Amino acid sequence: MSRIPARHLLSGPLSLSILLALAPFVGCESGMERLDRETNQRLRTSAEQLGGGSIYPEMDANRYESGSKFPDYPEGVDRPPSDNPDVSALAFETVPPVKEDAASITRRFERMSEEDPDAKLITFDEAVSYSLENAEEYLTAEESYLLAAIRLLIEEHQWQPLPSNVTSAGFSTSGGGSRFNNALSVVNELGVSQRLPFGGEVSAAFVAQATQQLDDYLSSNETQSADVVLSANIPLLRGFGDVAQENLIQARRNLVYAARNFEQFRRDYYYDLAADYLQLVVQLQGIANGVRQVERSAAVEARTKALVESGRTEPFQADLATQNTLFALDRLSSQREAYRLTLDRFKARIGMPVETSVRIDPTQFKLPVPRVDMAQSLDLAFRYRLDLQTQRDLVDDFARKVDVARNQTLGDLDLFIANNLPTDPTRDRGGLGLDPGYDDFTARLSYSIPLDRVNEDLRLRQAQILQEQTKRQYYQARDDAAVQVRQAARGIERSLFSKAVQEKNVQASMNRQAAIDAAPDRATARDRTEALDALRRAQDSLDNAKKDLQLAILRYLNTTGQMRIAPNGMLIPLPGMDVSEETGPGLIDTSP
């Protein structure tokens, strides 16, 4: 069998099919870059539609693994190793007991309390800014928003003209394997299809077919033909109308819900970070109060020992004073450890390595107290809360699902139309000379009686039940929101009352301490230690009351839907909110 040179094969009728097969790959931009740009566009549009200064994340392709088209998995990939040695391979080393006196305990505590001199000071502004770039939960919330946009693009793509190009090559032989009956055939089908907005689909295809004998010893038998095929399949009952676009409609609404969820997450996230940060500040203040108590207890201990040595009081009073100093040291040690644990958790939450040495800037927030009108607050919550708006819109979603399920109970009445325009079938090489005289037109109307719609009827009933459940969930969400607003409003009043009480309590404790200092000979060691304990508890309670008041204000703004967060993650002041020099740094950002 003689071979046909490649140049001869390409110069023949097969060249048309090969060129058609390669056409879609000419001049195309990077598909992923285009999709990333379209994703960002959908996110930008959804954020602008939401309004209120809402922001959106940008798709960053460098953040994700590129993957491999033909991965080469390592051996044992289906059996990941485990490191779980036998108990005989483990070891436990005990620390010998040491008998310590009060002085050695104090020195040991001082060594434990030493802080890293190189620890970096971190403010609330810096913590929020750092978390926006590194916190796992914030990045996850951004990606949930991104995924909603990607799902919309997937659905929208199904409603765009969808091109296709299929090239197939085959070898055939006939006549008992004769060398003169071996042929190579190439078929290329280049087509495009489009969904119709009311249901159904239209398509157009150009089919080119070429056949060439592989041995031209006697003759060169080459054939080539082409067809243009137009077709449409349109439902007239089941699947007809607006129900055909239900998936597209839901995907677009889901992107709006995702925008709301992300914005609500940013508000909740700000509140949670503020609560964590203020807790650290209160713990630092508690440690400072504990340090002062230890110093005062040590002074009481020294004074009491001096009185015992001079015979002016009983010896057990010195032991009582020493005991109170040790109790104060133990409490202070527990406070320091609790602070370290809270700080480590805070660092982990904002995405900072736990081993990073940082110090918290002990700055208290000073938000102004709002005037609260309960009826107005409830109205604001019902109008502005994004979660309630989404819950309300879900009722409409399930109402549409009922309509879709009802439509599916209909019979199938479909209209099929097709027209085939070929080249002249009497010619071996038709080229592109399409001949209308040989076109083939087909129109068919088919109807399927809905004899069995049990599953469809059950899905309809299911959709109706889910719709009623969604209505009740919306009403329950409104009731829960009302409870949260009332609780937040009462929380402000309760925190104001607690703050006033603790201020009086601190003043009373300081007066008690001053009275003891004015007449020290009339007070016992127990009197002094009890006064110190009362003062420390009063100061700690006042610090907590101040923290609770600031959190109550933030909670009220959030539960009523009035909290607004700037792109840098900080709170935007509302009109009428006083921004004074006493306001904590970074708490209120006046930038738009």
Residue 19 has pLDDT above 80, yes or no: no
Tens digits of residue pLDDT in 216-264: 544 556 777 788 899 999 999 999 999 999 999 999 999 999 999 999 9
Tens digits of residue pLDDT in 58-73: 888 888 888 888 888 8
Tens digits of residue pLDDT in 45-61: 998 888 888 888 888 88
Q: What percent of the chain has pLDDT over 90?
A: 48
Residue ranges per domain, the chain? 1-22+163-196+200-238+414-449, 102-146+248-396+461-559
> In CATH, what class is 102-146+248-396+461-559?
mainly alpha
To 5 degrees, how large is the angle CA 65–CA 71–CA 73?
Answer: 105
Q: Decide: 456 and 405 in contact? Cβ < 8 Å.
A: yes
Q: What dihedral angle (degrees, nearest 10) is formed by the CA atoms of 97, 99, 103, 106?
A: 20
Give the per-residue pLDDT at 172. Answer: 73
Give the per-residue pLDDT at 220. Answer: 53
Give the residue from 479, 494, 480 showing the smallest Cα distance to 553: 494
pTM attached to this predicted model: 0.84
Give the per-residue pLDDT at 180. Answer: 54
List, in order, residues 6 or more apart from 27 with CB less than 8 Å away: none
Split at pLDDT 50, 70, 90, the class of 495 is very high
Select the more confidently predicted residue: 29 or 542. Answer: 542
> Lowest mean pLDDT: which of 98-107, 171-180, 399-408?
171-180
- What average pLDDT does this structure show over 545-551? 93
Residue 584 has pLDDT above 60, yes or no: no
> Lowest mean pLDDT: which of 101-105, 254-258, 513-517, 557-561?
101-105
According to DSSP, the β-strands at 358-360 and 120-122 are: parallel
> Lowest mean pLDDT: which of 79-93, 172-186, 258-272?
172-186
